[in-house]
Amino acid sequence: MRRIHLLIGLATTIAFVLTGHVMSHHHPKVAQLPAEFRLMYVSRHIYLLGAALVNTALGLYLRMQPAGWRRFLQQAGSLLILTSPLILLLAFFVEPEFGQLADSIGL
């Protein structure tokens, strides 16, 4: 489980850098968007960094509990944490084209 968290954490860190690159080449420029939409992009970008750091930290320091209810809860929590970068990436790339931003600026 530690190795999976570490790999997902490192991959999400790379995705964080790439989403920053996407924001720098976005058309219209993110800085020119209304404040609420700029905040949407930047906050999702920062949340992606948070997910990367949590997964990386778990990859470095996670100690699995012996069998029992604690191990079950630990695995369930790990599964949720492992899926968070995917959900955040989808929110960053998919929602602006189909959500409120698309209706407001005509995407």
pLDDT value at 97 more than 70 = no
Domain boundary assignment for the chain: 2-105
pLDDT at 98: 62
pTM as predicted: 0.80
Higher local confidence (pLDDT), 36 or 45: 45
51-86 confidence digits (pLDDT tens): 999 999 999 998 888 888 999 999 999 999 999 999
> Residue 106 pLDDT > 60, yes or no?
no
CB distance 60 to 4 below 8 Å? no
